[in-house]
């Protein structure tokens, strides 16, 4: 049948209607003030200079007491404001560990070792192969030297050796990039979830670099892949109460003692995903660092679902039936992660979303409550609040779910997918490899906003919001220096092994 009415969706570009709405709501104060200021200006022109001068003289009849009281009040309010204002926290620079070529573990090597280690469990070998085929990892990820042995040698000495290699490499690179001296470090925070020796890893750093005896040091363990942002939050709180200070945060995960050699499928998955990695980050509240600092910390939002039993047990370190220790991943992991993310973005949304998105969300919520509960809930467009997204590269399914739920484009999740492909799941340090990928592509401009999202055992979902302090030149060194020109690469759904 002939179409009587024109197709509205085709005749009007709704995209531009929405852009107009966003511009109007987000700038409503400015748009309201412009006609008011214009009216005042026109009225002043109409009055003339003599009438304006007479009006000014008639209105200014203050005595000395009024002037002194007003001045005192202004000074008091200004002093109170500046003293209560939180200190600005700057991210001066950071460095990521680049694994040596000798530690690389291509698919063929990984599967050959699995067949030799699990020769009595062919089904476990086949299961690992299926996971690896769909993992999103590439051929250049790395495992520590102790895991390359057949069978692996997860000794305490080997684990310490991996920790010294990863942490020292990242710290040395940070010192070189920033010109920071070990004696200039006031606060040291090291987070590593599964390897917690005595003395601690923070003590190891203090010993190696001969840090000051009055340094404030902290060692966070057992807090999962989101511990990196917990460390940032702790550093922020400490920098708020200690003026003129530098804080170094070291985020890593030591793989050596945590390679599972049993046959429980839920515990074999981490073997296929976790790889070597680490990062060292320099934070400061010194005003002198403002010009050279890369980023400014805006918000940190933490969500903990540990009160729920399923959430608490969804990532759980335990022994299998044969007494072998491993990390068990629950089938409910993605659903629990979704609930944690929902709680987190509900908190962070009002802090970062523009007024247009908050108004649409509020109107939809009211409509669902009053008119029709079956209305589809409005998903805020976080692309209006951020230019870049660093989603924890915990696995392909995690990135897929966040891309779908947050309605992100392929470019928005490119850094996360490519980090997973090149370095694997490096736990808490993965966010810094992703940030370095964006910088290496020359995409980071002054004023850009970055959202870092991480998930961890417990179960936790943590977010950090940064604002770029200056346009960042493409770095000539770092973990991506020898391969950034090859990325992005196509990652097939299944890589047949």
Catalytic residues: 225, 304, 388, 392, 421, 425
For 249-279, b/e burial (b = at least 16 CB within 10 A) is bbbbbbbbbbbbbbbbebbbbbbbbbbbbbb
Contact yes or no for 94/432 (Cβ under 8 A): yes
| d(C-alpha 356, C-alpha 21), whole Å | 7
Angle between helices 355-370 and 14-26 (to 10 degrees): 110
Q: Which two tokens stand for residue 466?
A: 């940064």
E-state strands within 2-102: 90-96
- The residue among 350, 271, 327 whose CA lies nearest residue 456 is 327
Is residue 312 packed enough to be buried (19+ CB in 10 Å), middle (13-18) or exposed (0-12)?
Answer: middle
**3-state DSSP call for residue 156?**
helix
Listed in sequence order, the DSSP H helices in 390-485 are 396-405, 414-423, 430-440
- The residue among 316, 352, 178, 296 whose CA lies nearest residue 248 is 178
CA 299 to chain centre: 11
């Amino acid at each position: 049948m002939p179409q009587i009415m024109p197709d509205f969706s085709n005749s009007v570009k709704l995209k531009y209607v929405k852009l107009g709405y966003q511009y109007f709501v987000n700038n409503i104060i400015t748009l309201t003030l412009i006609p008011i200021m214009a009216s005042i200006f026109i009225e002043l022109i109409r009055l003339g200079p003599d009438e304006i001068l007479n009006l000014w003289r008639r209105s200014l009849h203050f005595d000395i007491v009024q002037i002194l009281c007003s001045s005192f009040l202004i000074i008091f309010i200004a002093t109170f404001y500046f003293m209560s204002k939180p200190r600005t926290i700057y991210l001066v620079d950071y460095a990521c560990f680049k694994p040596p070529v000798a530690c690389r573990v291509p698919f063929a090597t990984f599967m050959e070792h699995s067949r030799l280690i699990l020769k009595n469990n062919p089904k476990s070998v086949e299961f690992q192969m299926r996971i690896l085929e769909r993992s999103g990892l590439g051929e250049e990820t790395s495992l520590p030297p102790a895991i390359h042995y057949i069978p692996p040698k997860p000794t305490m000495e080997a684990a310490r050796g991996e920790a010294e290699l990863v942490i020292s490499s990242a710290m040395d690179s940070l010192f070189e990039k920033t010109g920071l001296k070990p004696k200039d470090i006031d606060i040291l925070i090291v987070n590593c979830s599964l390897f917690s020796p005595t003395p601690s890893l923070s003590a190891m750093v203090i010993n190696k670099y001969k840090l000051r005896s009055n340094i404030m040091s902290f060692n966070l363990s057992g807090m999962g892949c989101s511990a990196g942002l917990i460390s940032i939050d702790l550093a922020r709180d400490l920098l708020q109460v200690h003026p003129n200070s530098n804080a170094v945060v070291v985020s890593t995960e030591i793989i050596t003692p945590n390679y599972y050699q049993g046959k429980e499928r839920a515990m074999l998955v981490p073997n296929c995903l976790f790889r070597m990695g680490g990062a060292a980050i320099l934070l400061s509240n010194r005003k002198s660092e403002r010009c050279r600092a890369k980023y400014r910390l805006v918000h940190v939002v933490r969500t903990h679902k540990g009160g729920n039993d399923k959430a608490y047990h969804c990532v759980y370190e335990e022994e299998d039936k044969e007494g072998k220790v491993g990390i068990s991943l629950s089938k409910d992991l993605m659903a629990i992660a979704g609930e944690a993310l929902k709680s987190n973005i509900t908190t962070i949304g009002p802090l970062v979303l523009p007024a247009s998105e908050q108004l649409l969300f509020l109107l939809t919520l009211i409509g669902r409550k009053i008119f029709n509960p079956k209305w589809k809930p409005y998903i805020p467009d976080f692309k209006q609040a951020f230019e870049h997204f660093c989603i924890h590269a915990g696995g392909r399914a995690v990135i897929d779910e966040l891309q779908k739920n947050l309605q992100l484009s392929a470019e928005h999740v490119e850094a996360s997918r490519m980090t997973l492909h090149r370095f694997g799941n490096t736990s808490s340090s993965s966010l810094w490899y992703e940030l370095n990928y964006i910088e290496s592509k020359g995409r980071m401009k002054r004023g850009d906003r970055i959202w870092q999202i991480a998930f961890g055992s417990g179960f936790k979902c943590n977010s950090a919001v940064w604002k770029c302090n200056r346009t960042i030149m493409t770095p000539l060194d770092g973990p991506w220096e020898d391969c950034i020109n090859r990325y992005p690469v196509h990652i097939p759904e299944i890589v047949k092994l």
